[in-house]
Every structure is written in structure tokens, then in C-alpha cells.
Structure 1
Amino acid sequence: MKGKADKSEPVLSPDRLLPAEGLPLRVARELYESVKDLPIISPHGHIPVEWFAQDKHFANPTDLFITPDHYVTRVLHAQGVSLSELGVGQRDFTDKQARDAFLLLGQHWFAFAGTPMRYWFEDSLVRVFGIEETFGPETAGKIYDELNEMLKAPEFSTRALANRFNMDFVSTTDDPVSDLKLHDKVNADPGFKPFVAPAFRPDKYLEPGRADWPQSVRALGESAGIDASTYVGFTEAMRRRRWYFKDHGAVLSDHSHADLRSGRLSDKEARLLFANAYAGHIDADDAARLRAHLFNDQARLAQEDGLVMTVHPSIARNYDAASYANYGADIGDDIPQRAEFVEALRPLLNEYGNNRDFHFVAFTTDETVYSRELAPLAGFYPSFYIGAPWWFIDSPDAISRYFSAVVPYAGFTKLSGFIDDTRAICSIPSRHDMNRRITASYVASLVCDRRISMDEGLSIVRYEVVTQPKRVFKIGQAQL
């Protein structure tokens, strides 16, 4: 029996995140209703393709909601909960341990008040599982048991969920040496609705200061069928692998470095520094200069193959040394840093920015650069688009500030459309619905201020939800 709330009002207000009352509420309701059921376009995310290839059934609610979701685990860790208690990095996590982890989520539920994680979780309980009982310390065990029973049913496998969520396009995040056979397998299934596209993520191959960089270069060359031990061979290997990804449905390359420096070296110096790095003899300054050159090369290659270039810079990755040593990467201890785009991207944009067929999408967790740097850049360069709020600012308040900060300078046509950036599959419809509500609220404010008509407002919200992400990320009928 699915849990029901005792309160007369619904657990989820139908007007959540919409204006409080009056004309703004009525306008926002109409705008939201016009887009709430449109297909989900997800150009950037981290759902492992293995989940779809295996049609994964989650072992238990902790396996679904907690362990893979570093948005959740980081909050619990901040309350003093060990990541091992949440299943992070644990190979043999028993059923009892999984249930205990879920009880810990309930015990610390107050810590999630006001966070988007709470919003997504409560939305998932109601709209995905039909559980309307209020979650908290007293109900966590009962809700765990209900979820655990439901997860055994066929309709809660990953493919069934993606179909149910009305997903049209979803992009994974992939190593350039991947053979992409699992993507081919998934996309060959006529009963599976979404197209699952790989995304080319070459970060570690562009960081010559890494101790393992020579090994990565050799692996890249092997996957491309070429000797990549020289700068010329490496560049050709990158070209071949990018085309390989595109031939398998990729629409973008994704990049996350400490900064976005993009200055080019002379060909002679690039060859010399590459040789030094491959031999393991390069200092930090030269490694940074070579990385900037290799990053610029990715933009140059995009002029040939047409892959969209997305950047997620200025994050101190794996900040906590002990946690990284014990649990590895991507556990929630990334920390935002100050971002700089204007000078860092000057070489790249001066060379490629006026090519309107080149699409460059800049994401940030530093809200101070939205109106000062990103919106003016997007307001001039035809290639430049402003990425939606991501990671630490993927929240209702920050999304509202994003619209206010960038639309007056760049307009709606230079936004990226929403991206969910998640490895928590049940949060995907919740995140997209959240964005649609906030978009409706912002556009409603323009309608109520009589800056645009209602008909324009209806066109804008549809454009932002479906048309714009398809256009920016070059998602065509070949994929869908």
C-alpha cells in the first residue's frame, strides 16, 4: 500500500515555484501548462551507459537515491556521516547497511531543508513512486520498505523509467578511448525511446602535467590506430577519435579544467613541449602552457567535425585529500573557484568565435561572471552560448538569478537550454520540471510587466524547453 499524507493539502503543491498569487500566478500557470509534458532533452549528464545497456534494476532505494548521487552524499557528509556508511566506494554493501543508510537520510532530513536535493527527492517520491507520505526520521524506514518492494517491478528498470519520463535525448560522459559498443546496443533497441549519445570528455589527455599522461597518450593512440607519441600523431589521434564519437551520435566535447586559458604556441614550441611531457620532463608552467594550446586545438578540431564545445571550468576537483584517497573521484568534495572567461578565451574566440557554425557553451558556478563576462560575450559572438546553472547553483533561486542576469544582455536565443548534469536517474524529470516552472515564472514576469505579449511568452517557454537545446547542441533527427 502506497503511503498517503494525512494532511488535506497535497504534499506537492501544483503551484510550487510559481508566483504566489494574482495575475503573475495565473500567467505562469498557463505558461507552465503549455510545456510541462514536452519531451526531455538532456544534452549533458552522467548516467552510466551500462545502466541502460544492462537495463539495470536498482538493488534498493539507497542504490537509487543515495550512493550514486554526490549532491546527496556531500550534505550527509557535512553532518558527520561517513561516506562508507552511504555505500560510497563499498563493494560489499549489505541489505541491512543499505537500509541503515536510508535511515540516516531520514535522520538528517532537516539538513536538506531549502536545498534542491530535497525538492527533487520529494518530487520523485510522489510523481515516480506515488508515495505521498511526508519523508522524515519517523517515516524513512516505512518508505524504504515500500520503495524496496516497488523497485523489483519491471516498470522501475532504467530503460522503463527513461521511457516513462518521456526522454527523447540523453548524453552520457565518456572517455575518448571508449569503443561505444554499449551505446550502439542501447540505440539498436526499437522499444527504447531515448537516443543515448556519447560525449567526448578528453580532460586527462589535455593535462600534460599529470603523472599518468604518457600512458593516456599511448592509450589514445592505440584506440585511434596511430602512434600518438608526437604532437602531430597526438593531434591526428584526437581528430580520429572525435570523428568516431560523432559517427556514433555524439554532439559535443566536454571540458573541465582549472581555467580556460587558450593561448597557442608556435608549432615548434608545441612539438618541443609535447616531447618533454611525453618523456616525463615538463615543469608546471610549461605544462599549463601546453594544456592551453591543446585545449585550443579542440576548438580548432571542432571547426572540422562540428562537435559543440562545452566547458565547465574553475572547480577544485577532489578537494579533500583523505576522501579522494579512500573513495576516489566524484564523491561531492568539488569546490567552486573564481572563474575568468574574458582574457582566458581571447585567443580562442578571436580565432573561432565569429564562426556561427561553431557552438561554444560556457558553464560556471561563479555567478559573478554572468552579467559581467558571459552575457556580454554571448551578446557579441555568434558562437558563444551561456550554460544553464550547474552543480552548486543548480537550484531554484540561482536559476531565477541566472535569467535576470543574462537575458537583458544576451536574450533568450543565447542561452543553452536546461541541462540536468546528474547520475541520479529519478531526479531527471524532477530537475527538468523544476526548470520549466522557474522559466514559466520568469517569462510570466515579462508578460505581467507588459514587456512581451502572452503569445510571445508561450513561444519563449517552448523555445527554451525544446527548441533551444536542440539548436545549441545540434541535436537533429539523425539522433532522435
Structure 2
Amino acid sequence: MKAFMDKDFLLQSETAKVLYHDFAAKMPIYDYHCHLDPSEIYENKRYKNITELWLGGDHYKWRAMRANGVEEYYITGDAEDYEKFVKWAETVEKLMGNPLYHWTHLELKQYFNVDTVLKGSTAKEIWETCNEKIQSPNFSARSLIEQSNVALIGTTDDPIDDLRYHKLLQADRDFSTTVLPAFRPDVVMAIQQTQPWADYVGKLSKLTGIEITDFTQLINALESRMDYFAEMGCKLSDHSIETVVYETATEQELDAIVQKALNNEPISLKENNQFLTQLLVRLGMAYHKRGWVMQYHIGALRSANTRLFRAIGPNVGVDSFRDEPIAVPLSRLLDELDQDQQLPKTILYGLNPKDNEVLAAMAGNFQEGGIPSKVQFGSAWWFNDHMDGMVAQMKILGNLGLLSRFIGMLTDSRSFLSYSRHEYFRRILCNIVGNWVENGEYPNDLEWLGQFVQDISYNNALEYFNFQLKSVKVPLA
């Protein structure tokens, strides 16, 4: 029997062990999509205890605690931090089969040198050990990034953000990790919420000096902000597309829709779909012109629990899958950009696993000579970033595309401890490849295999995004 989470955790063959320890583990981390706050990086945030660091904004953990019957008072309420930690420890005992069990213990091991299994009876011991480490002078947001050998962090930023902390981080030569913004215009896309939309467009208009009264002026204002983001090194956009739609519209129809929204008049479903389609097309053209990468995160059903949404707000662990068909509208959307050779590099992420084969096959429709895997089937996202989901994503990509050109893992997280998910991913990757080789399905050529896992772990993303890094991270010895 293997020990729990030993050095060969998840590595089931000798080939997998060699691939992980000698090749994948030493590669830097290229975390091109996350939700970290750049102000916390610049200010080198320190933490008062493990609860603030671990539970402060982690809706994955909140969701699990609710499923375990924990009262909201101990999750997002006013309970003492130690009480919250104990409730989390008691929940961990119930998490067999959930990736949170593995992530929790990887984080304890990597950042706190704790091998003790977390449960109710060990909560006090681990609380004290972790907090002692947290209070040490060299434990901070930046130290966690540096300890994890992170080459790049891509944050997620609203178009009207002033990017102040990105400017400060770029000027800070004492911090070698590159932190770049990503342009995410979700509020602009939500035109059916007419009053918040009109308020936001008013801010955008004031910021850019462009009076927005029609669709073209809206696009001009957004492009103005893209240029500002580009000055901060941005070459990446991101979109939450809850439902993929495709609906044609004339310029006059688009202008009328914008006017209705500005006047706080109801927007019909057809008008919403017309606006959203043409907004994404025009944004895609603008990204292509600037050489940016475009990300589509498809299929989230957000804030499904109205009671908790009203009490706490969005992104608190009450989201799940949508299940609308996506193939035809997504194909038409990408094709409209591709017909005029204005489709940018694109990454397609699906939240509903039923769409995995659709997205992997769709990516193959829109490739382009000279750009390896220009359209990517993105890493297992959110409800899929567990062992089975990662295995499924990589095997489907291998079956329908080029796994060798995959740009690999990202954290998609608000936590500075989430870099251990890259270790989790790399172990799973090496185990897949190791099993293939030991089954005689692929040749036992370690030079070739080692390059394969290093490319997916880091090199492919480095080449695909082509960001200007502050310094080139080298593999760990």
C-alpha cells in the first residue's frame, strides 16, 4: 500500500515518476488566467491567520461547507476565524472523492511543511502550526509567488480599471514575476440589465472622453481602453459567455438597442442576442488587430440561489452548469471573424462536460498555418478541474487535436496557495503519459516524452502568448 500523498502521489508507473520528478516538476508556472488582486501582490499582503488566507474568498470551500450542513455563520458570517477553520477541518473529513481534499493537503505540505491529515481532531494543531509560519517575516503574497516559481500571472480586469497596481508592479524591479492585466468586458455584455449597464457606459464615456450614444461609439470607447490596457502589457481578453448566441443585426438596429438601454427601456431576448453577437464580433476584430488572445469561458449558470445572492452577493458558491446547445452559434460566431481573417488566437473553455468534444472539435475548424494550435481547447475549468475532468480534457484533446500543443494549466483562483494545482495537474499529465508508454502505446523515448510534458507544463504557453516577461524563469534545479 502506498503512503498518502508521498513523493510519488498520483504517479502509478515508473515512467510517470521519471517524467514528473525529472521533467515536469522543475518547470516554472505560467498562470495566464486567475482572479488575484494585483493590489495584494504589490502591497505584498500579509495574513493574520490561515482562515483569512484559506477561506476568505474561496467559494469552492464555501460550497463544500454548505453541503456538509455548516451554518452560513461559520462560512461567510461573523464567527471567529478559529471557529471557521474548525468547521472547514470537519468538512475536509467528508471530502473523499472531491479535489478539495487533495488540494488542501498539497497546500499544507507545500507551503507549511505539514504532513498531518486535516480533520476535526487535528484542527487545533494545524491551526497553530500554520499561523506560526504565517507570522514569520518572510511569509507574504510575494513570497508565496516566488516560492512557487511563478513566471507570469494574468489577472482579470474590468475595462474601466485604472490598472494602477499593474503600473506599480511593472516599475518594481525587486519583484521578478510578470503581472499583466486581462481585458474582461462582462458588464458591457450584460445589456439586459439596463440601469447598471447605462450607469457603467456613463463611466466608460467619461473616462474615454467619447460620448456614447450609438454602437460604434461604444466600440470606439472600448478600443480606447484596449489601447490603455496594451500600454500596461495586456495581450489577453476574457469573456464569460453564459449562453452562446448568434444573431445578425444592422448598424441601425444596434444603435436602437444601445439607445433603449441608455434610456432604461426593456431589451428583448432577440435584441440582447443581436447586441451580444455583434459586440463579440467587433471585439474579436479589435483583439486580432492588436495581436491579443481571446478567451471564452462558456456555460456558467451564475447566482442560482437568489437568497444567498441577495444576502452575500455574486461568486459565493451558488453557480453551476448551463446546458444549452452551443455548437451552431459558436461555429457561426468564430466563422464570421475567420471569414475576414480577423479571428484572434482563441481559447475555448467549457463548464458543462457535455460540451468537451464539441469544443475540442470546434477548435480544429479554425486553425491557421504558422500558429500552432491557434484555437485551443482550454484546460478543465471550474467544476471540471478535478482528476477525472483533467484526464477527460486531455484525452479528448489528444483524440481530436494535438495534446502536444496544449497550453496547460491555470489556477482560475483568488488564492495565493492555488499554485499547488499546477503540481496536481502535472502529476496527472505525467501519469497519463506514463501509463500510455508502459502499456506499449507510445515509445519509451525519455527525451521525447520529457519535452512533451515540459511543453504542456510551461513552454507551450510561453510561446503561445508571447508576453514580454520581466525575467525569464528557469526550471528549478
Question: How high is the TM-score relative to the length of structure 2?
Answer: 0.92
Inter-partner Cα distance in structure 1 for 2:250 and 2:229: 29
* Alignment check: 8 A CA contact 1:262 1:295 kept: no
SS at the partner of 2:350? Answer: coil
Listed one character per residue, the Cα deviations across residues 164-200 of structure 1 (whole Å, up to 9, x for unaligned) are 1111100111111011011111232222121111111
Residue 460 of structure 2 is aligned to residue 468 of structure 1: yes
Deviation at 1:9, TM superposition (A): 7.7
Listed one character per residue, the Cα deviations across residues 391-418 of structure 1 (whole Å, up to 9, x for unaligned) are 0111112111111222111112553421
Listed one character per residue, the Cα deviations across residues 291-325 of structure 1 (whole Å, up to 9, x for unaligned) are 22212221121121122111112111111101111
Tell me which residue corresponds to 2:280. 295
Tell me which residue corresponds to 1:65. 54
Inter-partner Cα distance in structure 2 for 1:137 and 1:295: 49
Which letter does structure 2 place at the counterpart of 1:437?
R
Which of 352, 364, 369 is equivalent to 2:355?
A: 369
Deviation at 1:329, TM superposition (A): 0.9
Tell me which residue corresponds to 1:29. 17
Tell me which residue corresponds to 1:269. 253
Across the two proteins, how many residue pairs are aligned to each other? 460
Residue 425 of structure 2 is aligned to residue 435 of structure 1: yes
Inter-partner Cα distance in structure 2 for 1:264 and 1:300: 16
Deviation at 1:357, TM superposition (A): 7.3
* Alignment check: 8 A CA contact 1:262 1:347 kept: yes
Tell me which residue corresponds to 2:475. none
Q: Which has the higher contact order (CA 8 A, sep 6+)?
A: 2
Inter-partner Cα distance in structure 2 for 1:200 and 1:42: 16
Which of 94, 110, 115 is equivalent to 1:111?
A: 94
Map residues 21-420 of structure 1 onto 2, 5 A cutoff.
25-33=13-21, 34-86=23-75, 88=76, 97-211=80-194, 212-285=196-269, 286-338=271-323, 340-353=325-338, 355=341, 358-371=344-357, 373-382=358-367, 383-413=374-404, 415-420=406-411
Inter-partner Cα distance in structure 2 for 1:283 and 1:188: 44
Change (3 A) 1:345 1:413: farther
Deviation at 1:216, TM superposition (A): 0.8
Q: Which moved more, 1:391-400 or 1:10-19?
A: 10-19
Q: CA RMSD in A?
A: 2.0
Unmatched 5+ residue regions in structure 1? 1-7, 20-24
Tell me which residue corresponds to 2:371. none
* Alignment check: 8 A CA contact 2:152 2:178 kept: yes
Which letter does structure 2 place at the counterpart of 1:365?
L
Q: Which moved more, 1:173-182 or 1:412-421?
A: 412-421
Q: Which moved more, 1:311-320 or 1:276-285?
A: 276-285
Which of 438, 442, 445 is equivalent to 2:435?
A: 445
Which of 422, 447, 459 is equivalent to 2:413?
A: 422
Deviation at 1:270, TM superposition (A): 1.2
Which letter does structure 1 place at the counterpart of 2:459?
T
* Alignment check: 8 A CA contact 1:375 1:409 kept: yes
Listed one character per residue, the Cα deviations across residues 45-81 of structure 1 (whole Å, up to 9, x for unaligned) are 0111121122111121111111211111110011222
Listed one character per residue, the Cα deviations across residues 262-314 of structure 1 (whole Å, up to 9, x for unaligned) are 44422121112111222122333112321222122211211211221111121
Question: How high is the TM-score relative to the length of structure 1?
Answer: 0.91
* Alignment check: 8 A CA contact 2:214 2:256 kept: no
SS at the partner of 1:328? Answer: coil
Unmatched 5+ residue regions in structure 2? 368-373, 473-477
Inter-partner Cα distance in structure 2 for 1:269 and 1:37: 54
* Alignment check: 8 A CA contact 1:262 1:296 kept: no
Which letter does structure 2 place at the counterpart of 1:239?
E
Identity %: 24
